Chains A and B, each alone.
Chain A
Amino acid sequence: QMQLMQSGPEVKKPGTSVKVSCKASGFTFSSSAVQWVRQARGQRLEWIGWIVVGSGNTNYAQKFQERVTITRDMSTSTAYMELSGLRSEDTAVYYCAAEIQLPRYSFDYWGQGALVTVSS
Chain B
Amino acid sequence: EIVLTQSPGTLSLSPGERATLSCRASQSVSSSYLAWYQQKPGQAPRLLIYGASSRATGIPDRFSGSGSGTDFTLTISRLEPEDFAVYYCQQYGNSLYTFGQGTKLEIK
Contacts and interface: CB of A to CB of B under 8 A. Distances in A.
Interface in B52-108: 56-57, 88, 90, 92, 95-102
B47 A107 contact: yes
A90 B76 CA distance: 34
Contacts of B90: 47, 106
Given A95-B45, A110-B44, A47 B50 contact: no
Interface residues of B, number: 26
A74 interface: no
Contact of B95 (A59, A95, A108): A59
B26 interface: no
B51 A104 contact: yes
A114 B47 CA distance: 19
A95 B44 contact: yes
Nearest to B30: A105
Contact of A106 (B35, B95, B100): B35
B99 A44 contact: yes
B40 interface: no
B88 to A, nearest CB: 6
B97 A50 contact: yes
Interface of A: 35, 37, 44-47, 50, 59, 61-62, 95, 97, 104-108, 110-113
16 contacts: A37-B45, A44-B88, A44-B101, A45-B37, A45-B102, A47-B90, A47-B97, A59-B96, A95-B45, A105-B51, A105-B92, A106-B35, A107-B47, A108-B47, A108-B56, A110-B44
Given A35-B97, A105-B33, 8 more contacts: A45-B102, A59-B96, A61-B1, A97-B45, A104-B51, A105-B32, A105-B34, A110-B45
